[in-house]
Amino acid sequence: MLDDHVDILRLEKITKTFHIKPVFGPAKTVEALRNVNLSLKPGKALALVGESGSGKSTVGRMIVQHYEATSGRILFEGSDIADIADRASQMKYRQAVQMVFQDPFSSLNPAHTIRHHLQRALRLHQPDHSGDADVCRILDEVGLDPKTTPDKYPHELSGGQRQRVNFARALAVNARLIVADEPTSMLDVSIRKSVLALMQRLKAERGLSILYITHDIATAEYLAEDTAVMFRGQVVEQGPTSDVVGAPKHSYTQLLRAAVPDPRQRLLAGDSGFSSHAKDVREASAHLVTGMIEQAPGHFTAQQ
Ligand SMILES: Nc1ncnc2c1ncn2[C@@H]1O[C@H](COP(=O)(O)OP(=O)(O)OP(=O)(O)O)[C@@H](O)[C@H]1O
């Protein structure tokens, strides 16, 4: 059992630079991540919040080893993932850390039934797995009908049901950390909350750790004990969600918070100073962060 005091996931000074060579025009570089430090405790959720292009998905993809870091370290249960050498350890890591994507269809093969998807995942974790009992148990655990779902094909399920299958697959390989990249943003508003509730339940009952990537800062409050706010590849504020979302101290987080549909806080476009204020905040927040200030225990903001 992992010691509660050891972070299940830790990013230390992570940078990621993409070098792009377009067919036409000059080559360019994009500094997608600049000196990112994050940590996630076992059995907890960390919300990674920010607007499009802030670097959230790049963080997620680096954790699941789609991309390598340009510099810095990613520690999983205390060990640097860059040091995973042999194939067996690599397989183990790739099972322990599962990604759930925005598009619930993208990772399901339309030619196979849900039973096939889950049995395949179960066999990865337990090579001698045979029966249907585990398929049914896992479907039940994610709130899908264990009688009717196994024989269905992905297209016969709703978006929300497909996303539940993706979580079921992560359970089948016994994942300990789920990187959920905008898992509800392609779903109907009416069912978003139920998928968030599923994640909340998996965390509470299974002890799963969740990195919850979202542009919707309001949903962080529902799921995540801690929240980190990103802008232009840097973390500008992080700490307990109650502080970061409830009483943000960095002007960019305040801006993000003001855009949330909350009649008490909304800053409306058209209000005097709205767009110039937003522009000023964004420009100021894009500067290289040189240090973090502790506003309250565990609550940090970038120096401005
Ligand atoms: N494979 C890639 N090659 C080149 N540039 C990339 C690549 N992936 C991401 N980027 C760039 O890195 C920056 C961060 O992108 P990223 O997708 O991580 O942001 P995001 O916050 O997840 O945004 P979104 O919510 O739109 O996915 C952007 O400028 C993006 O264009």
Residue 40 has pLDDT above 70, yes or no: yes
129 found inside a domain: yes
Per-residue pLDDT tens for 43-71? Answer: 999 999 999 999 999 999 999 999 999 99
* Structural domain includes residue 4: no
Specify the CATH number for the domain of residue 173: 3.40.50.300
Task: Indicate whether 165 belongs to any domain.
Answer: yes
- What is the rounded distance in angstroms from the CA atom of residue 161 to the CA atom of residue 104? 9
Return all residues near 16 (Cβ < 8 A) that are at least 6 apart. Answer: 31, 32, 33, 55, 58, 62, 67, 69, 70, 233
Q: What is the pTM of this model?
A: 0.92
Q: Could you tell me if the CB of 34 is within 6 A of ligand 1?
A: no
What is the tally of structural domains in the chain?
1
The reply to whether 1 falls in a domain is no
Residue 264's pLDDT is 44
Residue 156 lies in a domain: yes
Model ipTM value: 0.96
Q: 60 CB under 6 A from ligand 1?
A: no
Binned at pLDDT 50, 70 and 90, residue 1 comes out as very low
Residue numbers of the domain that contains 183: 9-302
Q: Is residue 84 part of a domain?
A: yes
pLDDT confidence bin for 89, thresholds 50/70/90: very high
| CA angle, residues 119, 98, 61, in degrees to nearest 5 | 140
Question: Residue 227 domain-assigned?
Answer: yes
Q: At what angle do helices 133-141 and 114-125 cross, to 10 degrees?
A: 100
**Of 21, 56, 58, 101, best ligand 1 pocket probe by most atoms within 8 Å of the beta carbon:** 58
Pocket test for ligand 1, best of 18, 19, 49, 65 (most atoms within 8 A of CB): 18
Q: Is residue 270 part of a domain?
A: yes
Q: What is the pLDDT of residues 144-199, one digit of tens each?
A: 999 999 999 999 999 999 999 999 999 999 999 999 999 999 998 889 999 999 99
